[in-house]
């Protein structure tokens, strides 16, 4: 193995950085080189009917190398560090350079002096956590879901998963950045049955160490979300006030943030390209991208190019404040990178907000629901990838949830869609809840009330 | 590693034998070594520039051990005897059964169907030829109309060599070569921005471009975006939906395909569980999943458990004939597998997956189907979809669609989703035409794994689906 060191035979940041630096050291005259090296260890345990259905222990390496010469870039990657792979990847990336179109803005990032946040995302206790305990919690989760309600007919999946990820970036321009983090989750997907009808519901908990996980809450959520859908019918079509629960709003806000990438703007694929300074949302919306928030699932001190991440206010009181940039889109826009390069080892840096959060409102979800006479709570959406067009803004997704009548949650409804446009939904926001929570997505979730959406059902 | 040896010995049989023995050293009924060596090339043109050419290499082995109800799995990118032994021991420990002892595994000679013949291996084609296709597509799309404001063109090829050896003596392999080309356009007008996409992909080499004209791919993508500049908001509510030839495969993939996967059926997480032999669809509906279809996107010689691909009739004349199976579920049921055990790569466990799923042609005239529809929606191109197999509720997107008014296609409509319930939608199919076509190459996602799948349908009508637009 080309990288070594660290505990448990796993490489530490220094070992990965050494691999990246060796590649960078092979740069020829007039050549810029950027190397990204990652290592990940994962465990996944699935429980089914009181047994371990599967136990996976996985270890992966990856290396990606970008070569830039005369404004042209070439890229190559490999899922291993075996043998002489690093040198082979460099040679392949170098060979690919000639085929790109020259572009004056194409270059690897330059150090910009921005300070790196001191984030503590690594928990040694996760690394030391015994496999037997991981198995036990998965089995316990399945048992709790099954026992939580007599109408629970099965548990499609009950799972514990964790990962220990280490990464390093080095460039010929002097960037040296490393990261390491731990993460773990519990998830359950419950089946509830009554009178021959089946409904489903999930529960989820995540953290940096096993102690952060709340197995009872996951089981209770999965049971509650599935059983409360029993007896669901198709609602009548019409326009109504819709409450998006945090799992749903996080997906919506992630799509909104995607339209604010400097790349989408420069390439004419953002509906907000000419709207800086405009009121693009109701004044109650403030949207901040902050990967330096250690609570964020996707927190990181260094972005995909090895620059420091930072807090970027995207929308303030409904007004569009800024787009996010990596070093290339920043050069093209004549501005500075916002530390928003996103990538895996197998691709060149893209641009995106990675830890988006709304400023909370004064009321909790139950108070918000109590204020609605006639509406709908959406607890799940489907088909976001096919029903939302982030370029035109057309928004239409499958949904399930509960009617709201007289300020109370009423009967369950399913097999309907909610539709609007992203532009109109932002203007129609009627309230933001106080329940901001980080979920395994690039945006945090929060209860959001949208004044009017089209519900298509019967 | 050269390409001369297409299957056979990626890893030496002796090394596979000793790895399997190590995997079963602490017991277990079954062990398997899955070896994969994948090379890929992709090139993207965006905003008028070839942004980059990218090359990828991934190689490793996944080892699983089944003991009782438990599957232990480990994978490694280290294919040395030491690396394989470590992974085998990790999988074995994960399966964690008691007792056992060293077990000898005898491997048969390499067996199984031959890999598809590839006329022009992408690795043998100069990179400049691949890049030139992108430039042609960019020009063709922009030439379609001045309102085309952005073009993204992508070229991708991959060669995936696999080898499967297991404790039952199986030793087999395959080479799967796929080539893909897609164009996405943005058109700008008074109504804002609109998008159009077209993709072509087959399980073939660079000879794909003998039959595929990239200019035409580009013009179709541009045409879709341009048409939608005039689009009206999609209607809202239940109505008849006519799906054009090729496009409807996604509908079946979601409405019942996933629900016919034996792993979901076994957990009662499918509305189709326990319904074999029952009428589940209109009597004109016959649905097939076929991994042997030459050149199609979901084609292979052997699945990722080493079982030859086969043609499986799922629904015949409206009656549910069979589910799709992987080894784990088939063994439990005491029956043969169906060649549907697939995985994204060596880092993943196999599970039941579709291959090329299609609805057999009917006898109706497609023009009559539209003419016989008073008021509804015609979907010419579907986007992706999603299904909750336990409830049967599914959605799929429409990326090119038109209103049907008085039996005629009228205004184009904006993007949106349709929603329906699988068992209800299958029963509500009231017309199937004779114009069968395969659809666009797809990537099917399940449980975090993406695999290439194909699908196809003739023109068909569902008497009632819910269109999720905003217009009254």
Q: What pLDDT is stored for residue B188 in this prediction?
A: 96
Q: Does A77 touch chain B (CB under 8 A)?
A: yes
**Does residue A205 belong to any structural domain of this protein?**
yes
**Does residue A1 belong to any structural domain of this protein?**
no
H or E element at residue A219: helix A215-227
Q: Which residue in B435, B437, B441 sits closest to B246, CA to CA?
A: B437
Query: CATH number for the B13-228 domain, one of 3.30.70.2190, 3.30.2290.10, 3.60.9.10, 3.40.50.170?
Result: 3.30.2290.10
Distance, CA of A178 to CA of A99 (rounded, Å): 31
- Pair A262, A352 in one domain: yes
- Pair A47, A184 in one domain: yes
On chain A, the residues whose CB falls within 8 A of the CB of B51 are 73, 100-101, 348
- Pair A161, A242 in one domain: no
- Pair A243, A334 in one domain: yes
- Please state the φ and ψ torsions of residue A160, each to the nearest 5 degrees: -115, 135
**Does residue A42 belong to any structural domain of this protein?**
yes
* Contacts A–B by Cβ distance under 8 A: 269
Q: Does B371 touch chain A (CB under 8 A)?
A: no
* B383/A385 touch (CB, cutoff 8 Å), yes or no: yes
**Does residue A227 belong to any structural domain of this protein?**
no
For residue B191, give the chain A residue with the closest CA.
A392
Instruction: Tell me: pLDDT of B100 over 90.
Output: no
pLDDT digits (tens, 9 = 90+) for A46-55: 999 999 999 9
Average of pLDDT values for A38-48?
95
Please state the domain count of chain A. Answer: 2
Q: Of A196, A222, A248, which closes a domain? A: A222
Q: What pLDDT is stored for residue B72 in this prediction?
A: 93
- Pair A343, A454 in one domain: yes
Instruction: Tell me: pLDDT of A330 over 70.
Output: yes
Q: Does A452 touch chain B (CB under 8 A)?
A: no
**Does residue A245 belong to any structural domain of this protein?**
yes
Q: What pLDDT is stored for residue B94 in this prediction?
A: 84
Q: What pLDDT is stored for residue B27 in this prediction?
A: 83
- Pair A161, A256 in one domain: no
* B57/A89 touch (CB, cutoff 8 Å), yes or no: yes
On chain B, the residues whose CB falls within 8 A of the CB of A455 are 236
Give the range of the structural domain holding residue A277, as residue numbers without chain letter.
Answer: 232-458
Model-level pTM?
Answer: 0.94
Picking from A410-414, B5-9, B155-159, B209-213, which range would have the lowest pLDDT averaged per residue?
A: B5-9
Q: Does A332 touch chain B (CB under 8 A)?
A: no
On chain A, the residues whose CB falls within 8 A of the CB of B386 are 382-383, 385-386, 398
Q: Of A222, A256, A290, which closes a domain? A: A222
On chain B, the residues whose CB falls within 8 A of the CB of A391 are 186, 193-195
- Pair A258, A201 in one domain: no
Whether the CB-CB separation of B140 and B4 falls below 8 Å is answered with no
Q: Does A400 touch chain B (CB under 8 A)?
A: yes
Q: Which residue in A242, A226, A217, A229 sits closest to A429, CA to CA?
A: A242
* A383/B58 touch (CB, cutoff 8 Å), yes or no: no
CA distance B45 to chain A (A): 9
Distance, CA of B6 to CA of A390 (rounded, Å): 43
* A266/B268 touch (CB, cutoff 8 Å), yes or no: no
- Pair A109, A134 in one domain: yes
pLDDT digits (tens, 9 = 90+) for B366-423: 999 999 999 999 999 998 899 999 999 999 999 999 999 999 999 999 999 999 999 9
Question: Using 50, 70 and 90 to split pLDDT, how confident is the model at A8?
Answer: very low
Question: Using 50, 70 and 90 to split pLDDT, how confident is the model at B3?
Answer: very low
Which of A269, A382, A456 shows the shortest C-beta gap to B469?
A: A456
Distance, CA of B406 to CA of A69 (rounded, Å): 61
Instruction: Tell me: pLDDT of A6 over 60.
Output: no
Average of pLDDT values for A221-242?
96
On chain B, the residues whose CB falls within 8 A of the CB of A417 are 236, 395, 416-419, 466, 468
pLDDT digits (tens, 9 = 90+) for B443-455: 999 999 999 999 9
Q: Does B449 touch chain A (CB under 8 A)?
A: no
Domain positions in chain B are 13-228, 236-468
Beta bridge partners of B150: B186
pLDDT digits (tens, 9 = 90+) for B284-333: 999 999 999 999 999 999 999 999 999 999 999 999 999 999 999 999 99
CATH number at residue A197: 3.30.2290.10
At B182, is the secondary structure helix, strand, or coil?
A: strand
- Pair A37, A151 in one domain: yes
Question: Using 50, 70 and 90 to split pLDDT, how confident is the model at B103?
Answer: low
- Pair A218, A257 in one domain: no
What residues of chain A, 240 to 269, have a C-beta less than 8 Å from chain B? 266-269
Whether the CB-CB separation of B32 and B167 falls below 8 Å is answered with yes
Question: Using 50, 70 and 90 to split pLDDT, how confident is the model at B9?
Answer: low
Q: Which of B390, B400, B421 to mutate to test the interface with A (most CBs of A within 10 A)?
A: B390
pLDDT digits (tens, 9 = 90+) for A68-99: 999 999 999 999 998 889 999 999 999 999 99
- Pair A300, A394 in one domain: yes
For residue B350, give the chain A residue with the closest CA.
A54
For residue A385, give the chain B residue with the closest CA.
B384
Q: What percent of chain B has pLDDT over 70?
A: 96
Helix-strand-coil split of chain A, %, nearest 5:
25, 40, 40
* A101/B49 touch (CB, cutoff 8 Å), yes or no: yes
């Amino acid at each position: 193995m080309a990288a070594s060191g660290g505990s448990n035979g796993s490489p530490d940041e220094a070992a990965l950085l050494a691999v990246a630096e060796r590649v960078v050291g092979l740069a020829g005259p007039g050549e810029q080189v950027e190397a990204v090296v990652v290592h990940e260890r994962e465990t996944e345990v699935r429980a089914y009917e009181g047994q371990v259905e599967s136990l996976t222990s996985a270890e992966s390496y990856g290396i990606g190398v970008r070569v830039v010469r005369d404004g042209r870039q070439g890229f190559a990657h490999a899922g291993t560090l075996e043998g002489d792979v690093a040198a082979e990847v460099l040679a392949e990336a170098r060979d690919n350079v000639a085929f790109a179109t020259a572009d004056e803005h194409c270059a690897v990032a330059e150090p910009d002096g921005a300070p790196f946040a001191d984030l503590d995302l690594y928990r040694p206790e996760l690394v030391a956590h015994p496999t037997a305990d991981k198995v036990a919690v998965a089995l316990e989760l399945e048992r709790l879901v099954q026992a939580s309600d007599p109408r629970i007919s099965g548990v499609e999946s009950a799972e514990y998963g964790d990962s220990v990820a280490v990464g390093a970036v080095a460039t010929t321009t002097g960037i040296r950045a490393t990261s390491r983090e731990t993460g773990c989750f519990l998830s359950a997907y419950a089946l509830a049955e009554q009178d021959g009808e089946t409904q489903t519901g999930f529960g989820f908990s995540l953290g940096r160490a096993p102690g952060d996980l709340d197995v009872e809450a996951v089981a209770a959520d999965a049971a509650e979300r599935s059983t409360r859908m029993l007896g669901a019918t198709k609602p009548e079509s019409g326009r109504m006030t819709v409450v998006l629960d945090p799992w749903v709003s996080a997906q919506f806000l992630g799509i909104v943030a995607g339209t604010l990438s400097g790349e989408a703007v420069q390439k004419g694929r953002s509906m907000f390209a000419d709207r800086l300074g405009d009121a693009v949302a109701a004044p109650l919306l403030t949207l901040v991208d902050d990967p330096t928030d250690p609570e964020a699932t996707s927190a990181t001190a260094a972005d995909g190019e090895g620059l420091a991440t930072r807090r970027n206010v995207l929308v303030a009181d409904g007004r569009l404040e800024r787009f996010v940039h990596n070093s290339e889109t920043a050069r093209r826009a004549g501005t500075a990178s916002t530390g928003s390069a996103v990538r895996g080892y197998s691709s060149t840096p893209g641009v995106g907000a990675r830890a988006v959060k709304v400023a909370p409102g004064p009321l909790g979800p139950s108070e918000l629901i109590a204020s609605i006479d006639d509406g709908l709570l959406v607890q799940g959406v489907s088909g976001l990838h096919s029903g939302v067009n982030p370029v035109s803004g057309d928004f239409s997704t499958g949904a399930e949830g509960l009617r709201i009548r007289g300020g109370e949650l009423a009967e369950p409804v399913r097999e309907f869609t909610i539709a609007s446009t992203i532009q109109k939904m932002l203007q129609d926001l009627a309230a933001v809840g106080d329940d901001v929570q980080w979920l395994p997505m690039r945006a945090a979730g929060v209860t959001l009330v949208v004044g009017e959406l089209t519900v298509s059902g019967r | 590693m050269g390409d001369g040896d297409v299957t056979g010995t990626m890893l030496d049989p002796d090394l596979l034998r000793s790895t399997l023995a190590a995997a079963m050293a602490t017991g277990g009924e079954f062990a398997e070594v899955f070896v994969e060596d994948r090379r890929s090339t992709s090139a993207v043109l965006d905003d008028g520039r070839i942004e980059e050419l990218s090359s990828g290499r991934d190689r490793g082995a996944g080892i699983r051990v089944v003991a009782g109800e438990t599957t232990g799995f480990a994978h490694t990118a280290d294919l040395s005897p030491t690396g394989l032994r470590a992974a085998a021991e990790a999988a074995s420990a994960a399966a964690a059964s008691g007792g056992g002892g060293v077990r000898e595994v005898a491997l048969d000679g390499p067996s199984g169907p031959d890999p598809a013949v590839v006329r022009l291996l992408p690795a043998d084609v100069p990179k400049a030829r691949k890049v030139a296709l992108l430039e042609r597509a960019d020009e063709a799309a922009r030439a379609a109309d001045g309102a085309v404001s952005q073009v993204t063109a992508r070229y991708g090829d991959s060669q995936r060599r696999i080898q499967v050896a297991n404790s039952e003596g199986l030793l087999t392999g395959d080479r799967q070569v796929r080539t893909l080309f897609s164009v996405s356009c943005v058109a700008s007008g008074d109504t804002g921005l609109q998008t159009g996409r077209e993709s072509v992909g087959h399980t073939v080499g660079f000879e794909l471009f003998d039959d595929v004209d990239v200019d035409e791919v580009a013009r179709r993508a541009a045409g879709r975006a341009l048409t939608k500049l005039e689009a009206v908001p999609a209607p809202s509510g239940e109505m008849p939906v006519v799906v054009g030839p090729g496009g409807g495969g996604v509908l079946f993939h979601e409405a019942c395909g996933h629900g016919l996967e034996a792993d979901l059926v076994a957990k009662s997480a499918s509305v189709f569980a326990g319904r074999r032999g029952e009428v589940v669809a209109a009597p004109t509906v016959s649905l097939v999943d076929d991994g042997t279809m030459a050149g199609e996107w979901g084609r292979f010689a052997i699945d990722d458990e080493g079982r030859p691909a086969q043609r499986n009739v799922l629904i015949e004349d409206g009656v549910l004939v069979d589910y799709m199976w992987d080894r784990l579920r088939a063994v439990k049921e005491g029956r043969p597998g169906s060649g549907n055990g697939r995985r994204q790569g060596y880092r993943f466990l196999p599970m039941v997956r579709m291959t090329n799923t299609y609805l057999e042609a009917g006898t109706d005239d497609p023009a009559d189907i539209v003419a016989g529809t008073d008021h509804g929606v015609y979907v010419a191109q579907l986007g992706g979809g999603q299904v909750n197999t336990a409830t049967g509720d599914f959605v799929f997107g429409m990326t090119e669609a038109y209103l049907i008014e008085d039996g005629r296609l009228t205004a184009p409509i904006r993007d949106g989703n349709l929603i329906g319930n699988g068992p209800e939608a299958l029963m509500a199919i009231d017309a199937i035409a004779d114009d069968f076509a395969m659809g666009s190459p797809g990537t099917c996602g399940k449980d975090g794994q993406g695999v290439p799948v194909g699908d196809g349908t003739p023109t068909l009508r569902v008497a009632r689906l819910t269109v999720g637009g905003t217009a009254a």
